[in-house]
Amino acid sequence: MFKQLLLIFVGGGLGSTFRYLISKSLNSERFFIPYGTFTANILGSLLLGLVLGYAAKHNFLNSNTVLFLAVGFCGGFTTFSTFVFENQSLLRSGDYLNFFFYAFGSIIIGILAVVLGLFLGKLS
State residue 31's pLDDT score. Answer: 81
In angstroms, the Cα distances linking 35 to 3, 14, 29, 105 are: 35, 20, 10, 12
Alpha helix segments (H runs only) across 27-95: 35-57, 63-66, 75-77, 80-92
On whether the CB atoms of residues 87 and 99 are closer than 8 A, the answer is: yes
State residue 26's pLDDT score. Answer: 93
Task: Give the residue ranges of the chain where pLDDT is below 70.
Answer: 124
State residue 124's pLDDT score. Answer: 67
Cβ neighbourhood burial of 18 (10 Å; 0-12, 13-18, 19+):
middle
Cβ neighbourhood burial of 47 (10 Å; 0-12, 13-18, 19+):
buried
Using CA atoms, how far apart are residues 27 and 24, in angstroms rounded to an integer?
6
Which of 2, 4, 22, 24 minimizes the C-alpha distance to 12?
A: 4
